[in-house]
Structure 1
Amino acid sequence: MKNSGQEMTTELIDKNVNSTIKDSKVLYYALLLILVLGSAVMVVFQVFEYRHDYRQLSSYFRERDDLNAEWGRLLIEQQTFGATAQIGTRAVTQLRMYSPPTTQTVVISLPMKTEDKK
């Protein structure tokens, strides 16, 4: 009878050890599952952030291109106004041109045709 008591105690100890091992395996699997899902969520978040930053970078590039185009137009405009002053200065100094006074100005008006009046 002693043997059957020892066998029952051994079986109980084996069951406790087996259940503890099974519980720890379930705990490890649950932990691994949580870590995998967490890393998947982080990957999705990183992709979202990358796309957001890329869109913002693209908008900055478009803005830069627009500003460069406007800068080019402003440089052309500045050169045009500078050239007008140079032309006026050269006309006066080299060609001795001047604006005539109103007494020397003659206004010529052409007669209008009947078709132009309408």
Structure 2
Amino acid sequence: MKTEVVEKKAEKLAMKKIISYIILLVLVFVSAIMVVFQVFEYRHDYRELSAFNREKDDLNAEWGRLLIEQQTFGATAQIGTRAVTQLRMYSPPVAQTVVISLPMTSEDKK
């Protein structure tokens, strides 16, 4: 009778060990799957971040070009205004305009 009780306890202990090993194996497998999933998400997010950084750099470059263009157009108007106000320059009327044409030489005709 004592041996039967000892055998039953041994069977229960063996069964508990097997169940524990199976549970641990499943947990390790689930953990491995989660690691793979996290690495996949990290790479996906990093790729997206890199694309956004490239787009930001492109937009910053375009913004710089637009600022230069704006300053160029603003400078043209400013130069014209200063020429009229400070230097008293003006466009001459047609009566004061003289057109000079140069005679063509034989080298220019070629």
TM-score w.r.t. the length of structure 1 is 0.78
Which of 47, 50, 62 pairs up with 1:70?
Answer: 62
Whether 1:31 aligns to 2:23 is: yes
Whether 1:114 aligns to 2:100 is: no
Residue 38 of structure 1 and its aligned partner are, at CA, apart by 0.8
User: Match for residue 90 of structure 1?
Assistant: 82
For structure 2, the 5+ residue unaligned runs are none
For structure 1, the 5+ residue unaligned runs are 1-8
When the two chains are superposed, the root-mean-square deviation of aligned CA atoms in Å is: 1.9
User: Match for residue 10 of structure 2?
Assistant: 18
User: Match for residue 44 of structure 1?
Assistant: 36
CA distance in 1, matches of 2:62, 2:77: 23
CA distance in 1, matches of 2:2, 2:100: 130
Larger radius of gyration: 1
The sequence identity of aligned pairs, in percent, is: 65
CA distance in 2, matches of 1:46, 1:107: 79
